[in-house]
Amino acid sequence: GAAEAPAELGGSPKRGRWAPPTLPTEPALYDGPFPFYRRPAEEGRFSLDAQRCYHPDARQLRYFAPPRAERPEPAFDLRHGYRDLYVRRDEGRREGLEHLLQWVAGNRDRLRAQGDAAGRPVNADFVTWRGHLTKVLTTPYESQEGWLLAVSLFRGTLYVSEVETPAARQQREQRSDMLQELAYMGYKFERYMCADTPDGSPDPTGVVNTNEAFCTVVRTRLGSHSLLFAGEVDCADPRGAWPEPPACYVELKTCKELHSPAQRRSFYRYKLIKWWAQSFLPGVSRIVAGFRAPDGSVATLETFETMKIFQLIRGDRGCWKPAVCMNFCEAFLAFLKKVVTEDDPQLVHLFAWEPGRPVSYTRHQGAEHVFLPAWYVETMSG
């Protein structure tokens, strides 16, 4: 596609000395036709319970149960319970790909290439979290936060796992009470919008426990790359226009109230790109936003159809383009395939990116950055 050439650009030798290739991220280099992206198909589901324990089922799936009107009456109070009804996940525990790998190991009989007993145990070029791909998609337009992605090739499949940057770690550990309350408010919004059963109604009086999660595992293809990834989804709407997963899933978001056309344009430019990338990747068809007033109340809801977001931004010159995001992702995946060619779970290539710079990488053999657990390597080697 349009984005194949740039991978080569950074690889030129400097004054005769070999320099490892880099990948440029300027949007103009990826401005071509939208690449092939196969409609994502759900391959499986799993849940994490209140103790953060893995279950190979949909027990944590919740159901979309919005108020009848666009303006909830009375308004939702997103601050309610922050002090006394909040059980927080231990974010210091880095989980890496752990739960996704548990799902893969549990489904290994189905994931092998059909009729190919000698082939790779997971019939996909890439295995990763959806959230990591979201970061890749938005890279050409990101000016604030860089990322670090660790990559290992194991039995024919590239595994991609995020490593927290020192800057992100510092931010997380020093997060102000105000930012922590904002994060809580996002989860509280879900309690007002979701029920535990398809015909139930929300019970916003209960505890918010961020250990709980429902994840969908999808399979898709971007250009020549087959992908298997998991993402956490907020709820399903079995009565919506698209009743089948993954299109039946609804992503819930909160956002500061918009008061002027300038605020709305800025929201489209800087926030909607992340919402779009996150939901487009797994084929989630709708995003429902609650707009917060300064006192933490939500009186306005707005629905964004994922496939129609590009129409909202099309008129704004200088805005982000979905094709650029996808072409960059395709080029990045091609770059990984080109660089990481030795099949060895103990070998890790760390791909690093900071705004204003190209993507670069370093090579690490043994211990330090190894992220594929021994139990997984053993299970998948048998």
CB of 215 to Ca ion, least distance (A): 13
Q: Which is nearer to ligand 0WD, 79 or 89 (CB)?
A: 89
Q: Which is nearer to Ca ion, 149 or 233 (CB)?
A: 233
95 interacts with, out of Ca ion, ligand 0WD, none, CB within 5 to 8 A per kind: ligand 0WD
CB of 379 to Ca ion, least distance (A): 32
Q: Which is nearer to ligand 0WD, 89 or 219 (CB)?
A: 89
Quickly tell me which residue has 């939500």 as its tokens.
298
Distance in angstroms (rounded) separating the CA atoms of residues 338 and 116? 25
Q: Site residues (CB under 6 A) for ligand 0WD? A: 48, 89, 91, 94-95, 129-131, 134, 162, 186, 210, 213, 231-232, 253, 278
For residue 288, the tally of other CB atoms under 10 A from its CB is 19
Distance in angstroms (rounded) separating the CA atoms of residues 63 and 202? 9
Q: Which is nearer to ligand 0WD, 52 or 112 (CB)?
A: 52
As a whole number of angstroms, the longest Cα–Cα distance in the chain is 70
CB of 278 to ligand 0WD, least distance (A): 5
CB of 68 to Ca ion, least distance (A): 22
The token pair at 343 is 């099949």
Q: Is residue 252 within the footprint of Ca ion (CB under 5 A)?
A: yes
DSSP letter assigned to residue 281 = T
Q: Which is nearer to ligand 0WD, 122 or 208 (CB)?
A: 208
State the binding string over 212-241 for Ca ion (x if CB under 5 A, else -): ----------------------x-------
Distance in angstroms (rounded) separating the CA atoms of residues 316 and 296? 30
CB 236 within 8 A of CB 249: yes
CB of 23 to ligand 0WD, least distance (A): 22
Comparing CA positions, the residue from 199, 225, 228, 231 lying closest to residue 213 is 231
Size of the site for Ca ion (CB under 5 A): 2
CB 314 within 8 A of CB 34: no
Rg over alpha carbons for the chain, rounded to the nearest Å, is: 21
Q: Which is nearer to ligand 0WD, 22 or 60 (CB)?
A: 60
Q: Which is nearer to ligand 0WD, 48 or 372 (CB)?
A: 48
Tell me, what amino acid is at 11?
A: G
Distance in angstroms (rounded) separating the CA atoms of residues 339 and 263? 42
Distance in angstroms (rounded) separating the CA atoms of residues 226 and 35? 13
321 interacts with, out of Ca ion, ligand 0WD, none, CB within 5 to 8 A per kind: none
232 interacts with, out of ligand 0WD, Ca ion, none, CB within 5 to 8 A per kind: ligand 0WD
CB of 271 to ligand 0WD, least distance (A): 11
CB of 186 to Ca ion, least distance (A): 6
Q: Is residue 281 within the footprint of Ca ion (CB under 5 A)?
A: no
**Which residue has the closest beta carbon to ligand 0WD?**
131
Q: Which is nearer to ligand 0WD, 125 or 232 (CB)?
A: 232
- Strand spans (E) along the chain: 41-48, 54-55, 63-64, 76-77, 86-87, 126-129, 147-154, 157-163, 194-195, 208-209, 213-222, 225-232, 235-236, 249-256, 286-292, 297-305, 347-353, 360-365
CB of 314 to Ca ion, least distance (A): 25
CB of 219 to ligand 0WD, least distance (A): 15
Distance in angstroms (rounded) separating the CA atoms of residues 294 and 296? 5
Comparing CA positions, the residue from 262, 235, 258 lying closest to residue 246 is 235
Q: Which is nearer to ligand 0WD, 152 or 210 (CB)?
A: 210
- Give the residues lining the site for Ca ion (CB under 5 A): 234, 252
